[in-house]
Amino acid sequence: MELVAFFLRYARRYVHWGLLALAAIALFSLATVAFVGLLSPMFQETLGASEDEVQDALGRGGGPEAGGEGPVARLVAYVESRTEHWRAEAAGLYDDLKQQVGVEGRREVFFAPVLLVLVLLLRSLMAFVSGYSLQRAGLGLTTDIRNDLYRHIIHQSSRFHQQHTSGELYSRVVSDVAKLQNAVAARLFDIFMSGALLVVYTLYLLTIHFTMALVSLVAVPVFAFLLARFGKGMRKVTYRSQERMADLSGLLTEGIRGNRVVKAFGMEEFECRRFERATRGHLLANLRAQFLSTVSSPVIEALAAIGGAALVIWAGLMILDGGLTFTRFFQFLIVLFLMYDPIRKLNKVNLVIQEAIACGKRVHNVMQIKSDIVDNPTAPPISGLDQGIRFEDVSFDYENTGHGKGVLSGIRLELHRGEVVALVGASGAGKSTLVNLLPRFFDPVSGQVQIDGTDIRALPLANLRSLIGIVTQETVLFNDSVRNNIAYGRDDLPIEEVWMAAAAAYADDFIMAMPEGYDTVIGEGGQNLSGGQRQRLAIARALLKNAPILILDEATSHLDTESEVVVQRAIYNLMEGRTALVIAHRLSTVVRADRIVVLDRGSIVEEGTHEQLLELGGAYKRLYDLQFHG
């Protein structure tokens, strides 16, 4: 039921398209009935056939005999009488229409064919309207699901992205929604149109021979059971297939992103073998799905053939006994054969729908995951940093349990406005985790992070992050122009402001040397730039944001000495007038900090200026000696 409610939430937006489609399908069905009804007057008026000849050709004579006065016989007789009444009503409507149009004499030759063409044109138009309306509703619905899924993923916390690989999420957004789209957009038409045709054909069968139609419809529960069994199997194998697709997406993403490492270690064939194993698993899952899809039609056709043979034998006996005419049975068979196509389509639709249900569950499961970072958008925002930042008895662990030894334990740290504080310590000491708490990439298990005395959890998330500029060691750039990478999402900014930020980041010279200057597209991840150039663009982006709080996380760790000097000058420009938290393994980059905080195993062990910590002769002195005298 949750999955049904999930889809209904989106379907409500397209009710008007659905109603238009249903109205068109109803008109299509009426046009189909009218087409069959017009055959008789066309034979009579256009081809000059007699009433008896038409009755014989269309099988309206020689109906079933009552065969007694029991309840079944009375029901059959009643249906026969109502059928004759409906036929008489239809003939009366046709005659009234002829009189209103004024058709007489030789004009009658033209009337029925022209009317038949108009009915067929209406039927075709309604098929188009219903098909397009359902496509519009289906494509719109699945596009909304894809947009909301991406929005849900992009707003999730860093913890969520640590627990779900990029390949898995890619598979949800692209592959799973694509199967949903195929089912909802491409198959809705088949569901409604085939269902409507089956209703029309069933009613028509009942008017031809009531008893034989009822017996024929006994097969419906059998077909329904088979469809359910095949559908259940298809749902399971599709779920497994999509899981294997997620594995494939993950391997593909890793191989492409890490292609330099792959080449450096000569592991191309190793990665190919890994990918082949994953594709083999995906192939096996797909083959199971294709087996179910392929075997379903022959099984249903075989049962239909057996039932058809039994029906022919029964009809043959009735014809010998005089209870049925050959022409009526022939007409019955024609309508029965016409029913095959919508039944076949519904079988295929059922399998596709089961695939969609499996994919819908995967999408729904992701969208049910609530972010552990709870926004407070209605809270009053703050305009800047007036006093400072305080970490008040902060503890954190990635399992978010609060038990056992965490990554951070009892951190107490205060940054005054305009102060530059450097965090140093061995790898795994908790430096990056500590700074990640400030923009709420994670929330502490206990304690508070405060800005001007306000717990940051009480601030609107957008407001909090607007106060913070971040430059990390892994520079994230986009496959876009230099200008758009610096301005990032702010197309309305004047180019002059972009120039000023680039100049302050010592990036203007190499940008202007590019073929198209600030309009040069830098490739995915800035792959056409050097490490120092990428870092300076990231600094220019942070400068343009002009946030009062700055986080520098190993911003120069991957640079050569020459590039580091240039980037360091850009960083000094960036830090000017801002409150900054700086992480650096190279202690030469933090000696100018107002204060240095030494972390060890998640706790603060020392704090002071560069000179004070050297005189103290503790952990900082050991780190310093290892780098410069080791």
Whether pLDDT at 95 is above 50: yes
Distance CA 368, CA 119 (A): 49
Half-sphere exposure of 569 (CA within 13 A, CB side): 12
Q: How confident is the model at residue 65 (pLDDT cuts 50, 70, 90)?
A: very low
Q: What is the C-alpha separation between 423 and 405, in angstroms, rounded?
A: 21
Largest CA-CA distance found in the chain, in angstroms, rounded: 121
What pLDDT, on a 0 to 100 scale, did the predictor assign at position 268?
A: 77
How confident is the model at residue 411, as a pLDDT? 92
**476 in Cβ contact with 525 (< 8 Å):** yes
The answer to which of 87-91, 328-332, 395-399 has the lowest mean pLDDT is 87-91
233 SS3 class: helix
The single-letter code of the amino acid at 199 is V
Average pLDDT, integer, range 583-596: 79
SS3 assignment, position 465:
helix
Distance CA 341, CA 197 (A): 10
Structural tokens at position 252: 């593909």
- Any idea how long the chain is? 630
Q: Give the 3-state secondary structure of residue 48.
A: coil
CA nearest 156: which of 474, 441, 459?
441
Cα distances (angstroms) measured from residue 211 to each of 41, 228, 316, 318: 28, 27, 15, 12
Pairing of strands 454-455, 446-451: antiparallel
Main-chain phi, psi angles of 134, to 5 degrees: -70, -35
Is the separation of the CB atoms in 35 and 116 below 8 Å? yes
**173, two tokens:** 């957004």
pLDDT band at 220 (very low <50, low <70, confident <90, very high): low
Per-residue pLDDT, 64: 45
CA 578 to mean position of chain CA atoms: 41
- Structure token digits, residue 38: 């017009």
- Residue 235 to residue 352: CA distance in whole angstroms: 9
Is pLDDT above 70 for 80?
no
Helix (H) or strand (E) holding 359: helix 340-367
- What is the three-class DSSP state of 598? strand
pLDDT in tens, 317-326: 777 777 777 7
Give strand pairing partners of 600. 603
Least confident of 98-112, 212-226, 471-485: 98-112
- Specify whether the CB–CB gap between 351 and 293 falls below 8 A: yes
- What is the distance, to the nearest Å, from the Cα of residue 173 to the centroid of all Cα atoms in its chain? 4
**Residue 139, helix vs strand vs coil:** helix
Cα-trace Rg, the chain: 37
Cα separation, 233 vs 292, whole angstroms:
7
Helix (H) or strand (E) holding 305: helix 268-320
Computed over every residue of the chain, the mean pLDDT equals 78
pLDDT band at 405 (very low <50, low <70, confident <90, very high): low
**Residue 66, pLDDT above cutoff 60:** no
What is the spatial distance between Cα 127 and Cα 297, in angstroms, rounded to a whole number? 25
Q: What is the pLDDT of residues 96-127, one digit of tens each?
A: 666 666 555 555 556 667 777 888 898 889 88
pLDDT computed for residue 62 by the predictor: 46
| Segment 227-239, tens digit of pLDDT | 667 766 776 777 6
Domains and CATH numbers, the chain: 2-367 (1.20.1560.10), 417-438+461-628 (3.40.50.300)
The predicted-structure confidence for 418-476, as pLDDT tens digits, reads as follows 898 999 888 888 888 999 999 998 899 999 999 998 999 999 988 998 899 888 877 77
Range of weakest confidence among 24-38, 118-132, 135-149: 24-38
In 328-456, the DSSP E strands lie at 388-396, 408-416, 420-424, 446-451, 454-455
Give the pairing type, strands 468-472 and 549-553.
parallel
Please give the backbone phi and psi of residue 433, each rounded to the nearest 5 degrees, phi first: -60, -40
> Which residues, 6+ apart, have CB-to-CB distance to 376 below 8 Å?
457, 458, 459, 460, 461
The answer to whether residue 566 scores a pLDDT higher than 90 is no
Section 480-505 average pLDDT: 87
Is residue 353 within 8 A of residue 183, CB to CB? The reply is yes
Q: How many Å apart are CA 301 and CA 341, to the nearest integer?
A: 11
- Tell me, what's the pLDDT at 49? 47
Cβ atoms of 553 and 471 closer than 8 Å? yes
Q: What average pLDDT score do residues 176-183 get?
A: 82
The token pair at 605 is: 């062990």
Residue 520's alpha-carbon distances to 492, 528, 544, in angstroms, are 18, 10, 19
Nearest to 6 by CA among 399, 526, 368, 303: 368
At CA 375, angle to CA 372 and CA 377, rounded to 5? 170
